[in-house]
Each structure stands twice: as structure tokens, then as C-alpha cells.
Amino acid sequence: MKFAFIDAEKVNWPVLVLCAVLGVSRAGFYAWRRRAPSAKTRADLELGQVIAEVYERSRSTYGSPRVFHTLKARGHRVGRKRVERLQPHRTEHAR
């Protein structure tokens, strides 16, 4: 989480300063950037695309419970909390 924050904020602050403030090494940050995404991250990206497709096909009306049940009906082994975490959220203009 710290490395992701550094990656996002490096346009505003030097990496050296961010690493010092967060108490991590620069070498650790750059090693993190070179590392391939984990299997869980890759699986979350794939499932996130499926969740987004279900959500969009519902004209952005399905909440996480309905998306969860749709995925279960399609044979996906997924938990309700994971769907909640990966589902796109409505924006202010969608009210």
C-alpha cells in the first residue's frame, strides 16, 4: 500500500522524500515496480472485467447482491465481499 501511494504521488514529490516519510527504502520501491502482478491481482483484474460487464448490461442498476447472484448463476466461484470490492461504484451524476 505504501509503494502504491509513492507511485501515485511521485509526480508531486521526489521518491526519496516519499520513501523517507513512509519509512521504506527506495530500492524496495523500485523492486516493487519491477515485480509482476501477483496471481490474485491478475484474477481480480479478470473478475473485475466480468463484474463491469454484468453491471453495464444492467444499465448500471445492479448492486453488488444482484451482480453476485448473476455471477454465481454463470458458474463463477466468488464471494459477495469480493464482488463489492471489485464492482464499479456509481458516481455523483448517476443519482
For residues 73-91, average pLDDT: 89
Residues 49 and 90 occupy one common structural domain: yes
Q: With bands split at pLDDT 50, 70 and 90, how would you rate the model's confidence at 1?
A: confident
Give per-residue burial for 54-77: e unless 16+ CB within 10 Å, then b. Answer: bbeeeeeebebeebbebbeeeeee
Number of domains forming the structure of the chain: 2
Residues 26 and 72 occupy one common structural domain: no
Return d(Cα 88, Cα 49) in angstroms, integer: 10
- Confidence check: pLDDT of 94 > 70: no
Ranges of beta strands (E only) in the chain are none
Residues 81 and 57 occupy one common structural domain: yes
Boundaries of domain holding 9: 2-34
Q: Which three cell numbers stand for residue 27?
A: 530500492
- Are residues 3 and 29 in contact, defined by beta-carbon separation less than 8 angstroms? yes
Residues 25 and 51 occupy one common structural domain: no
Residues 17 and 58 occupy one common structural domain: no
pTM, whole model, 2 decimals? 0.69
- Confidence check: pLDDT of 48 > 50: yes
